[in-house]
Amino acid sequence: MKVKLFDFEDEEDLEKAMNDFLKDLEGEVVDIQYQIDSFAQGEDQIYSYSAMIIYY
């Protein structure tokens, strides 16, 4: 088993990266886990969109 981790500040970037990875994947996906986190940095609100793909 292997894992591939993704982390982006924009959900569209995450979606594109995951789709590109899955398009070229020759193995079998076991699971996909997705998480959103946010935190304040000064007056800005920062978002983190992350995912982990577990595959063979």
Where exactly are the structural domains of the chain?
Answer: 2-55
Would you state the pLDDT for residue 23? 96
Which stretches does DSSP call E strand in 1-56? 2-8, 29-41, 44-55
Residues of the chain with pLDDT under 50: none
Whole-model pTM: value is 0.83
Would you state the pLDDT for residue 41? 87
Nearest to 56, CA basis, from 21, 16, 28:
28
